Amino acid sequence: MMRKTLLAAALSVTAFAAQADYQCSVTPRDDVILKPQTVQVKGENGDLVITPDGNVTYNGKQYTLSAAQREQAKDYQTDLRSALPWIDEGARSRVEKGRVALDKIITEQVGASSNMHGRLTKLDAQLKEQMNRIIEHRSDGLTFHYKGVDQVRADGQQLVNQAMGGILQDSINEMGAKAVLKGGGNPLQGILGSLGGLQTAIQDEWKNQEADFQKFGKDVCGRVTALEQSRKALVSGLK
């Protein structure tokens, strides 16, 4: 269950895609570049640039728009400016919530001096680095890199797997040392009992967080779907 909890946090970095086990029917195929002067949507679907007042350039050509088209363009770029920071903050906050919860469990079950705390801190930093490969923070705004989603999904899984190996070894070593110092009975039985208590605590925490991960995934998918529909409608009107 610790693996599942950590993996859900890792999958939070695939922010524009599905969260946890939720699969979205829309897969982004464009980068989104937010700057104060422009919003740019560039990738497999062409190169669309929109200014805050609704001027549109598509594949290098500036278009003369009707009043309705200009409002459509303004609404689309406004929605992008709202959605991208919301997704970024939602993903980052869930990674942090997962780290804090697991850190607390380790303190309660193993102790404040456990090496597992350090491993979680390292994993947290690594996951946030991965997140920046998808939604990059720049001095002039945010940039979503659509190709980063699949890359980070694989790398995030690998990071979690590596962290799990170390955490499992630490838990055995530290609980084993406590069982030996405590003395009496069967030390192995004591280790297994302690590991069982740790697993139960993590399983309970996962149940608390799972619904939130799933809801966030569906909310992200809903926004992505609406944005893609808006993009298609705008570009179709230009053609």
pLDDT in tens, 93-131: 887 887 888 888 888 877 888 888 888 888 888 888 888
Which pLDDT does position 11 carry in this prediction? 46
pTM beyond cutoff 0.85: no
Average pLDDT, the chain: 81
Name the β-bridge partners of 46.
Answer: 43
Long-range contacts of 82-87 (CB under 8 A, 24+ apart): 83/223, 83/224, 83/227, 84/32, 84/34, 84/135, 84/142, 84/144, 85/142, 86/223, 87/15, 87/16, 87/135, 87/220, 87/223
| φ, ψ for residue 63, nearest 5 deg | -105, 145
The letter for the amino acid at 141 is G
Look at 46-50, 53-57, 183-187, 233-237 and tell me which has the smallest mean pLDDT: 183-187
- Residue 18 predicted with pLDDT over 60: no
Which pLDDT does position 157 carry in this prediction? 74
> pLDDT class for 190, splitting at 50, 70, 90?
low
Percent of the chain with pLDDT over 90: 36
